[in-house]
Amino acid sequence: MYKLTLKLSGIILPLSASLFTMSAMPTFAATCEYRVQNEWNNGFVASIRITNDTTSTISDWDVNWVYSGEDRITNDWSTKLSGNNPYTALPESYNAIIEPGHSIEFGFQGTKNSDPAESPVISGSVCEPVDPPEPPEPSEGVFRVNGSGKITKNDEVLPVRCGAWFGLEGRHEPSDDANNPGGAPMELFIGNTFWANGGQGTGRTIQQTIDEIKAQGVNVIRLPIVPQTLEADNPQGIPDVFKNHPSVLSENSRQALEDFIVLADKNDLNLIIDIHSCSNYVGWRAGRLDAIPPYTDADREEYDFTREDYACSDAGPGVTVHEYNEDRWLENLREIASLSDKLGVGNILGIDIFNEPWDYTWDEWKSLAESAYQEIDKVNSDILIVVEGVAAKKSDGTPVPHGNEESNPNWGENFYGQADNPLNIPKERLVLSPHIYGPSVFVQRQFMDESQERCNGLEGDAAGDEQCNILIDTEKLVNGWEEHFGYLRDEGFAIVIGEFGGNMDWPAGTAPIRDQKRWKHIAPGIDEDWQNVAVDYMVEHEIEACYWAINPESGDAAGWYGHEYDPVSNTEGWGQWNVFDTRKTDLLNRLWGNK
């Protein structure tokens, strides 16, 4: 990577900022960086990033460069490119303006006859010297829970207006993927895939998305990761397996995590970092640190993403083990807690210590959570410990008390055991974070129509196969939530629902084909009804929440952004975002008190 930092007598010198710092040198209207992102025998992909380092808006820009050898450009994206060595790049309409502290990036593919690909000197009026800006104030972030159960930052109440932005915890590649069959790449979804618009990309960037969600009111992001995200050299965390367009590729998943934390801090976005699984391959189904198959989706039809051949502890022949245990987990928690100091940021609100630990009893999980608090506190006493609940039973069938048997808690929802065996974690440092979902994620038995006797006690696929009706019974839902976690809000605990949301059009629209077939007797909109009941309950009880999810690639819950993808008519639209779903915008505005 080369960075333009000096211009003398018309000669522009590329200097690496990582080698030394020259405090007396002039600063520039923008930092212009040329980066070779990938190369092969006779070709390369490169990009140029322009970062506005000033306090003034850049309203236009141009960049120029020339290759001294035989490197030449064959196609480009996110710019208007002219010339044939030398080259001149001008902006498209959507990236001509660069706000202070923001960046734009454009890219190109080319041919070469030498190794490595050349990194030329770049110039242009946007890179001219300007008066240096005032240094920014160092970030501060001391997070606590006050006596009313509200989260504070530096002693000021921080309303939690939160959405999840996933991808760094890994996704599941199809078994017939041309480049990475059956893989689990860890890449933040950006809505800009490499095949979009005939290979030109959509132009969407992380900064654009941050600007858009902040304009809607978001001030907290729940960011799922896995242990492998922290490994800079993990083979599922490098550009070779990523789906994002070359213009927005990260160097690796660890760097993407750190870059996102820093960018969020610059944009006054606070983060809850969530250890989402013991392995990027096992994913959401884990339930415990040392998860092994069989998993809950082992027999799901028309589904290519079962992970019966991966585990987090010894599971016998033919199973790949990504070993995980309490010691490694605590090490990861300490490492995440250290990022505030390492990166010089004050926006890490808390660590969600493990996602949906449904395969533990309350007593087992309580002991682990208390150990997590002790280790995090040794490293960073400024952040909060976010603890999810358990479920109704373990994978071996062991029942877990949760109150009324007719109300089945979602994975992570059950804090019934906290009443008699409370967590030994200071209340001012603790956030309780249940997960709740409606029928688009899983059809629970409390959704059954009691007038259909054959459906009593059924749930999931069995209920669909019996053509059971679905009813959203407000009283039944509220009674369950109160028993599982709501009573703790009355005791002054901070409660932030870690995940809620769903597909407003289920079982139609972008719902999986198997759901569209099994539940076609249900009119679309039933999950929207559930989401409205959930928000009414949260508003009444002053419970805050993180919406799953900001991005739309969730197969069962969809997202706040719309999706070009349709499982029937537009499978090539996967990973390309549309505008916000106004129904979800209205829902979140009501939750946040904006309407």
pLDDT, tens digit, 9 for 90 and up, residues 380-404: 999 999 999 999 999 999 999 999 9
Residues 120 and 155 in one domain: no
- Give the pLDDT band (50/70/90) at residue 6: very low
- Looking at residue 49, the DSSP 8-state letter turns out to be E
Residues 538 and 481 in one domain: yes
Q: What mean pLDDT comes out for the span 492-499?
A: 98
Q: What mean pLDDT comes out for the span 159-177?
A: 97
* Active site positions, annotated: 356, 499
Pair of tokens at residue 14 = 């590329």
Query: Does residue 13 carry a pLDDT above 60?
Result: no
Residues 168 and 90 in one domain: no
Torsion angle, alpha carbons of 90, 93, 94, 96, to 10: 50
Query: Does residue 136 carry a pLDDT above 70?
Result: no
Q: Name which of 25-34, 94-103, 437-446, 499-508 the model is least confident about.
A: 25-34
Residue 135 placed within a domain: no
- Give the pLDDT band (50/70/90) at residue 78: confident
Among 104, 130, 156, the domain-final residue is 130
Residue 42, domain CATH: 2.60.40.290
Q: Report the residue count for the chain.
A: 595
Which is nearest to 576 in space by CA: 200, 240, 201, 104?
201
At 129 the pLDDT is: 56
The half-sphere exposure of 263 on its side-chain side, counting CA atoms within 13 A, is 17
Which is nearest to 170 in space by CA: 231, 86, 100, 99?
231
Residue with tokens 């994206």: 77
pLDDT exceeding 90 applies to what percent of the chain?
Answer: 81
At 594 the pLDDT is: 82
Q: What mean pLDDT comes out for the span 436-464?
A: 96
Question: Strand, helix or coil at 434?
Answer: coil
Among 130, 161, 177, the domain-final residue is 130
Residues 507 and 412 in one domain: yes
pLDDT tens track for 235-285: 999 999 999 998 899 999 999 999 999 999 999 999 999 999 999 999 999
As a 3-state breakdown, the chain gives helix, strand, coil percent values, each rounded to 5, of: 25, 25, 50
pLDDT tens track for 291-331: 999 999 999 999 999 999 999 999 999 999 999 999 999 99
Residue 137 placed within a domain: no
- Give the pLDDT band (50/70/90) at residue 137: low
Task: Provide the mean pLDDT of the chain.
Answer: 91
* Domain span holding position 47: 2-130
- Give the pLDDT band (50/70/90) at residue 103: confident
Query: Does residue 20 carry a pLDDT above 80?
Result: no
Residues 459 and 500 in one domain: yes
pLDDT tens track for 52-72: 877 788 888 999 999 998 999
Query: Does residue 449 carry a pLDDT above 50?
Result: yes
pLDDT tens track for 146-156: 999 999 999 99
- Helix 474-481 crosses helix 526-541 at what angle (to 10 degrees)? 50
Residue 575 placed within a domain: no
Among 106, 130, 154, the domain-final residue is 130
The half-sphere exposure of 429 on its side-chain side, counting CA atoms within 13 A, is 17
Residue 211 placed within a domain: yes
- Give the pLDDT band (50/70/90) at residue 85: very high
Residues 46 and 150 in one domain: no
Q: What is the pTM of this model?
A: 0.81
Residues 336 and 439 in one domain: yes
Query: Does residue 2 carry a pLDDT above 50?
Result: no
- Give the pLDDT band (50/70/90) at residue 77: confident
What does the alpha-carbon distance between residue 151 and residue 428 come to, in Å, rounded to a whole number? Answer: 9
Residue 136 placed within a domain: no
Residue 138 placed within a domain: no
What does the alpha-carbon distance between residue 311 and residue 258 come to, in Å, rounded to a whole number? Answer: 27
At 134 the pLDDT is: 52
Q: What mean pLDDT comes out for the span 466-473?
A: 97
Pair of tokens at residue 308 = 């019966």
At 102 the pLDDT is: 80
Residue 409 placed within a domain: yes
pLDDT tens track for 320-376: 999 999 999 999 999 999 999 999 999 999 999 999 999 999 999 999 999 999 999
Residue 267, domain CATH: 3.20.20.80
At 595 the pLDDT is: 59
Please tell me the total count of domains within the chain. 2
Residues 513 and 438 in one domain: yes
pLDDT exceeding 70 applies to what percent of the chain?
Answer: 93
434 cis-preceded (ω within 30 degrees of 0): no
At 128 the pLDDT is: 62
Residue 576 placed within a domain: no
Query: Does residue 23 carry a pLDDT above 60?
Result: no
At 7 the pLDDT is: 28
